[in-house]
Amino acid sequence: MEVDIFDVLIGADILTDLGTSYGESISTISGTASPGDVFETGTVSGPWSSMVNGIWNCLADSQNNCNDTGRTLVRYVNTVCAQDASAAADLQQEIDEYIQASQNSGTDPGLPSLDPNNPGNGVPEPDYDPADRP
């Protein structure tokens, strides 16, 4: 396939961030799932709990899907690098330039680098735990 593997890696990083955002949403909504009266205490029970649990499960599915897709994209990048040393070297250069530009602008690059001693080993895969569920 004719794709820019650096762009694929950036996509994986964006999905990782999105998965984290879904996880934060799960933490927020989990606080509303305790018993009580939504009109008096802001907590939920009965049908309200079912609604919150439905939203919670949807967020959990989304978090897991983002994380699984991000990991798959990293594996694709690593497969290309393992089979094509030139692609690995080009990717390493693009990652270095991206990290340098991020640091120069005062932002956290957030993108993992290839092992400089062996770029063919690829980018470390993100490590995820499954999303919390009600």
pLDDT in tens, 54-72: 889 999 999 999 999 999 9
Spatial distance between the Cα atoms of 117 and 128, rounded to a whole number of angstroms? 26
Spatial distance between the Cα atoms of 106 and 65, rounded to a whole number of angstroms? 31
pLDDT in tens, 93-109: 999 899 889 888 988 87
Note the pTM of the prediction, 2 decimals: 0.82
